[in-house]
Amino acid sequence: MGVPLFDTATPLEPLRDDLREAVLGVLDRGTYILGPEVAAFEDEWARALGVRHAVGVANGTEAITIALRALGAGPGDEVVVPSFTFYASAEAIPPTGARPVFCDVDPETFCVTPESVRAALTARTKAVVAVDLFGNVPDIAGIRALGVPVVEDAAQAAGSTFRGAAAGSLGDVASFSFFPSKNLACFGDGGAVCTHDDRLAETVRMLRFHGSRDRVSYEEVGYNSRLDELQAAVLRVLLPSLGGWAEARRAAACAYAEAGLGELVRLPRAVAGAEPAWHLYVIRHPRPDELAAALAERGIESKAYYRTPVHRQPAMVAYAGGVELPGTEEAARTHLALPMGPHVGAREAAEVVAAVRAGAL
């Protein structure tokens, strides 16, 4: 039969009529930038996360840059970031003027830890970008206890929780991406910055609109970085389904475990306290590329996302210096994402596990 890595279309089938109505509603209104749909989505997303403010921005990369700017990051500052993450987590730092300093991850969870962050702190550290990688959630309270502000990069963690609190509510400020493959996704680019802090939220609103609060006076060199009305209208239709999709992702992880996947490969471990809505289900194996080839023969899609970690990417080498990150190297060498999403039920999980059993030598 075969199982795809993602299925972003099928979960939207029951919502097609509502989506058509929402999009046509925007057309009828004729307001496309910073109108009522963005304002309503910001309220609904903030309420869903249990934060005071959500501010729509153009994408998840600029969400990080703007969050760091709001925290005051600039030239001469350092921002600690893991190397085992999507490139954008680090790429978002230099546009602020600060430089990225790479820290390690625990290869069992793929997340930073208070210890790995502490090892990268210096007198110049302005903030930490803590990534909720693959939907897992690091111990952000433990990192904040080091005395440094945290930007929670929650791009992969819509629907995840940590001791009952939503991912995206845990840092001083958090960033989301609504890129089409994410757990909560729109039909193009979109993002949000979330915070409990009134003053930070006001600064983010100013920065996303060219550094202006009143559209007359321009107090900062800011950004043209807004969530579109059309994308906000789409997100408002999808948001009520997020909880069910997150449950389906957790159920898929359980189905993999129940089908015996843990006897064949290393399963991802949730950080103590985290209830991940797995964005990607990433296992470890000593020969992951051979395993991927064997799975492909049986129609099972899989993917190595970060085989070259960020600190060894050409554009980042100058920042990385000679840093050694053994947990990152281990994760980069051995990881492989298996199919994950609401499309993975017990039957699909059993098919994937049978293919792993046949292919994992």
Ligand X SMILES: *Cc1c(COP(=O)(O)O)cnc(C)c1O
277, 274, 280, 275: which is closest to 245 by C-alpha? 277
Burial class from Cβ neighbours inside 10 Å (0-12, 13-18, 19+) for residue 239 reads middle
- For position 231 contacting ligand X by CB under 6 A, the verdict is no
Q: Which stretch binds ligand X (CB under 6 A): 150-158, 238-246, 302-310, 317-325?
A: 150-158
Cα 93 to Cα 45: distance, rounded to the nearest angstrom: 25
Tell me: does residue 328 bind ligand X (CB under 6 A): no
Classify residue 10 by its DSSP letter: G
* Burial category of 73 from C-beta neighbours within 10 Å (exposed 0-12, middle 13-18, buried 19 and up): buried
- According to the binding rule CB under 6 A, does residue 91 interact with ligand X? no
Contacts to ligand X from residues 47-76, by CB under 6 A: 59-61
Distance of closest approach, residue 286 Cβ to ligand X, in angstroms: 26
Sole window of 28-36, 41-49, 152-160, 198-206 interacting with ligand X (rule: CB under 6 A): 152-160
Four-CA torsion 109, 182, 203, 205, nearest 10 degrees: -170
Rounded least distance, CB 8 to ligand X, Å: 14
Residues 269-288 that bind ligand X (CB under 6 A): none
The closest of 164, 134, 357 to 249, measured between CA atoms, is: 134
Rule CB under 6 A: say whether 45 interacts with ligand X.
Answer: no
Window of 22-30, 49-57, 148-156, 218-226 that interacts with ligand X by CB under 6 A: 148-156
Please select the residue that binds ligand X; options are 41, 45, 86, 223, rule is CB under 6 A.
86
Q: How far apart are CA 257 and CA 173, in angstroms?
A: 34
Contact between 152 and ligand X by CB under 6 A: the answer reads: no
Q: Which residues fall within 8 angstroms of residue 214, CB to CB, at 6 or more apart?
A: none
Residues in the chain: 361
191 makes contact with ligand X (CB under 6 A): yes
Residue ranges binding ligand X (CB under 6 A): 59-61, 85-86, 88-89, 131, 153, 155-156, 177, 179, 189, 191
